[in-house]
């Protein structure tokens, strides 16, 4: 199991729920660590780092073999050059370590890149969500993500067809991190709201 800054690279495509449940047993605040009471910290590299490296390497090797081989009727050089550029861009844009801090003491979350503050926002703007996508046969698959304003989507578990299990795990993660939880449906009674915008709270108090 990968740890530290590579913790988000632990995606499993088999027994997704059991794999995530095991990680939650080992660390109830997964994928975060408790820095101090009510302050959770996660350091991570985006998974596009290894994806970019893989694309770059494959296109470089493929391009070398292509240019050394005898010329064929179709020219694929543009494909390899494009792949090398895309892979290099993904690699370059993902090579810096990121830190995500959820600070309930201050009522905010902070995103650091290269130890520099990149984004800061109130807790109602960061959340755990169950997302869904449907295949060509109409079967629905669910993923658990952490997302928020200024934050790239962080996938904690992907592509499981077991809604009840994934909902339970998503709710558990949100509860331990004290974050809002949203169901895959925009309008749902399954949402769990722990933080609201200040204006909305003020309106409720006036009523």
- Average of per-residue pLDDT values in the chain: 85
For residue 191, the SS3 value is coil
* Cα atoms in the Cβ-side hemisphere of radius 13 Å centred on 160: 26
The pLDDT score that the predictor gives to residue 41 is: 95
The pLDDT score that the predictor gives to residue 117 is: 93
Q: Taking the CA atoms of 85, 47, 133 and 181 in sequence, report the sign of the dihedral they define.
A: negative
Q: In terms of DSSP H, where are the helices of the chain?
A: 16-26, 48-68, 77-94, 163-177, 198-206
Distance CA 154, CA 163 (A): 19
Q: pLDDT digit string (tens) for 107-155?
A: 999 999 988 899 999 999 999 999 999 988 889 999 999 999 999 899 8
Only one residue has tokens 């997704």, namely 16
Is 160 in contact with 141 (CB distance < 8 Å)?
Answer: yes
Distance CA 113, CA 117 (A): 7
Q: pLDDT digit string (tens) for 16-33?
A: 888 888 889 999 999 999
Q: What is the DSSP letter of 7?
A: G
Q: pLDDT digit string (tens) for 162-201?
A: 999 999 999 999 999 999 999 999 999 999 999 998 875 5
Q: Which tops the pLDDT comparison, 207 or 196? A: 196
Distance CA 121, CA 150 (A): 8
The pLDDT score that the predictor gives to residue 7 is: 66
Task: For the chain, give every domain's residue range.
Answer: 4-45+97-206, 49-94
Distance CA 185, CA 207 (A): 28
The pLDDT score that the predictor gives to residue 67 is: 75
* Cα atoms in the Cβ-side hemisphere of radius 13 Å centred on 65: 5
- What pTM, to 2 d.p., does this model score? 0.78
Is 195 in contact with 122 (CB distance < 8 Å)?
Answer: yes
For residue 186, the SS3 value is coil
Alpha-carbon Rg for the chain in angstroms: 21
The pLDDT score that the predictor gives to residue 121 is: 94
Q: pLDDT digit string (tens) for 46-97?
A: 877 878 888 889 988 888 887 777 665 567 778 888 888 988 888 887 778 8
Number of other CB atoms surrounding residue 4 within 10 Å: 10
């Amino acid at each position: 199991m990968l740890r530290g800054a590579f913790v988000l690279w632990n995606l499993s495509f088999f027994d997704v729920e059991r794999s995530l449940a095991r990680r939650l047993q080992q660390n109830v605040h997964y994928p975060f660590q408790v820095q101090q009471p009510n302050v959770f910290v996660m350091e991570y590299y985006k998974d596009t780092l290894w994806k970019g490296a893989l694309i770059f390497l494959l296109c470089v090797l493929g391009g070398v073999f292509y240019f050394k081989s005898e010329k064929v009727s179709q020219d694929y050089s543009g494909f390899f050059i494009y792949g090398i550029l895309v892979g290099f861009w993904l690699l370059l844009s993902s090579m810096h370590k990121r830190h995500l801090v959820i600070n309930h003491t201050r009522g905010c979350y902070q995103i650091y890149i290269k130890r520099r503050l990149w984004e800061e926002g109130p807790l109602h703007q960061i959340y755990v969500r169950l997302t869904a996508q449907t295949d060509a046969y109409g079967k629905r698959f669910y993923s658990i993500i952490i997302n928020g304003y200024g934050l790239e989507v962080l996938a904690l578990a992907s592509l499981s067809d077991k809604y009840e299990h994934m909902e339970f795990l998503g709710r558990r993660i949100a509860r331990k991190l004290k974050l809002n939880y949203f169901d895959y449906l925009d309008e749902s009674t399954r949402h769990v709201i722990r933080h609201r915008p200040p204006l909305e709270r003020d309106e409720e108090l006036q009523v």
